[in-house]
A = this chain, B = another copy of it.
Amino acid sequence: MKSSKWYAEPTSENEVILHLLKEVIYNGRSPFQKIEVIETGNYGKCLFLDGILQSAETDEFIYHEALVHPAMLLCEDPKRVFIGGGGEGATVREVVRYPVSEIVMVDLDEEVVRVCREFLPEWSNGAFDDPRVKVVYADARNYLSDAKEKFDVIILDLTHLVEGGPARLLYTEEFYRIVYNALTEKGVMVTQFYSLGISYLQLFASLVTTVNQVFSCVKPYVASIPSFFAPWGFVLAAKSTLLDEHSHKFQDRLAKVEKGLKFYDLDSHRSMFYLPKHIKEALVKGGDIIRDKGF
């Protein structure tokens, strides 16, 4: 082993990823979390919050396109979009591609947004300057509870569901009722989940079971993001129905945004929604409902 600087990311009690650390670009602490921008050997510039990788320069496009485009395209005619979290600005960057009228992004941590705009400007790529975008620094749950006007799409780009973690209350049945109420009749919501490594399938099943308590149409999906070291789970849900991806409408709307995209196209869409047998079986069995108090 040659001497070197490493960034140690413990992805579980049983595993640590050592990223070659080429440069510490930013290193600070907000009232909510430790914020670091690190140049790594394999993934270019990376944002770490409390030591967990959030986005990597080389492949954040996979994560953000996988999060945003299914919901935006399966929703028939989105005008008002809500983003919970999303501090890097890459989620909003994907949403501004659409002819929506308003995008409200609610992130707890102003400092994350400031750091990303300064040190990772390609992430938001100017989207924060779009006049349709409104950024609010607040708790997303409180904001949605109190929201007077409804949203067509709600995108939840949160830190991971970990027992006791800060975003835990944004993955509960009670929270999804708030989301449901904040959506228009044809509204669609999507949330990121976490690794679908074998040991996390049970928790994914719990999340899908939980969303199922509230929404009539629930579609879990998977995308593989190299810098996250795992197949990655998402859950999309609609109050009523979704556009069919075979429909002209879906494909016409896709054609209008597809040129700028790097990961997402119709093949990617299909690949993500065809789930492997072992994941389907875990979802059929289901899991405990995640509630505000204990789970």
Contact = CB atoms under 8 A, between A and B. Distances in A.
Contacts of A264: 276-277
Given A271-B271, A275-B271, A276-B267, A3 B14 contact: no
Contacts of A19: 14-15
A13 B41 contact: yes
Residue in A270, A271, A277, A280 with the greatest tally of chain B CB atoms within 10 Å: A277
Interface in A110-148: none
A270 B274 contact: yes
B18 A5 contact: no
Interface stretch (A185-193, A209-217, A222-230): A222-230
B2 A15 contact: no
A197 interface: yes
Interface stretch (A21-29, A99-107, A153-161, A286-294): A21-29
A13 B197 CA distance: 24
A9 interface: yes
A195 interface: yes
A62 interface: yes
Contact of A268 (B20, B61, B261, B277): B277
Contact of A7 (B5, B58, B197, B267): B5
Given A5-B38, A267-B275, 17 more contacts: A4-B7, A5-B5, A5-B8, A6-B7, A6-B8, A6-B16, A6-B18, A15-B20, A59-B197, A59-B198, A196-B224, A197-B227, A226-B230, A264-B277, A268-B274, A271-B274, A274-B274
